[in-house]
A and B are shown apart, each in its own frame.
Chain A
Amino acid sequence: MKGKFDNEMKLEFISKSNNEAFARIAVAAFAAQLDPTVEELADIKTAVSEAVTNSIIHGYEDKQGLIKIICRLKENEIIIEISDSGKGIEDIDAAKEPLYTTKPNLERSGMGFTIMESFMDSMEIESILGLGTKVTMLKKIKEKVEESEQEFQMLTNE
């Protein structure tokens, strides 16, 4: 069987804050197949942590619900989809603004989406009020072997 993707995994867990570490470590372990650098892996872990925290704090607030993560690998790319069935985002453009937060009393910095956007190669938010939010992020893992081969060729051509 040959699918559209090279590999795929799904993860579902309840919206407890202790699962933030579990989620980012699980995704990082899956992403490790693409042989990312320490920095690329840290970027992925941070972005996943931000999205999952958003679902817990904003999506479900004090209620408990399920958070779903789907990860897909295609060549040198990882596509990460994180979704909840929480209350949804009223104004996505405002939520994406740096420093925007609806919960300043909880010492939230309002930098979550800004970090996801700059640490990943792309990020999309879909949200329906009362139904939930889905964040889809993509990260390209640079191919180190080819780079060093190119460098070798450049050196030998001279």
Chain B
Amino acid sequence: MESKFYEKDKLLVFKISDEIDDHNVQKIRGRVDYEIERYMPKRVVFDFNSVSFMDSAGIGLMIGRYKLVTMIGAKLEMTNVQGSVKKIFEMSGILRLIPIIEDMKAS
């Protein structure tokens, strides 16, 4: 997993490259929460481009991050959500809370 903070936009981007299941989600969560608390961003984007597998652990992960990000007054979005990852997010109904964006438009 890679992360990048764009100071000017207060934008924090997480590029997840692990398979998201119950086993991996614990370490992803730890790293993500640490960085959110460290940078206090205004906007957080999860990039799913390199995610080859995700099960319902991904829903729990995103709902948990939504709570944290909302609590610090920031906005949470996702990008490059496709295939079965998209199917799972659509089924869960979380897209009403966490929108999928086409382009990050970071400066």
Contacts and interface: CB of A to CB of B under 8 A. Distances in A.
Given A107-B29, A107-B60, A109-B60, A46 B88 contact: yes
B83 interface: yes
Interface string A97-127: 0000000001111011011001000000000
Interface stretch (B3-11, B38-46, B49-57, B97-105): B49-57
Given A20-B21, A109-B63, A42 B91 contact: no
Contacts of B84: 39, 42-43, 46
Contact of A115 (B22, B56, B60, B63): B56
Main secondary structure of the interface of A (DSSP, over half): helix
A76 interface: no
Interface residues of B, number: 21
A21 interface: yes
Interface in A49-72: 49-50, 53, 56-57
A134 interface: no
A17 interface: yes
A139 interface: no
Contacts of B54: 46
A45 B53 contact: yes
Given A46-B84, A109-B63, A21 B56 contact: no
Contacts of B83: 38-39, 42
B32 to A, nearest CB: 12
A18 interface: yes
A53 B19 CA distance: 14
Contacts of B25: 107
A38 B84 CA distance: 10
A107 B88 contact: no
A49 B21 contact: yes
Contacts of A18: 23
B89 to A, nearest CB: 10
A109 B94 CA distance: 11
B21 A111 contact: no
Nearest to B22: A53
B73 interface: no
B55 A115 contact: yes
Contacts of B23: 17-18, 20-21
Interface of A: 17-18, 20-21, 24, 38-39, 42-43, 45-46, 49-50, 53, 56-57, 106-109, 111-112, 114-115, 118
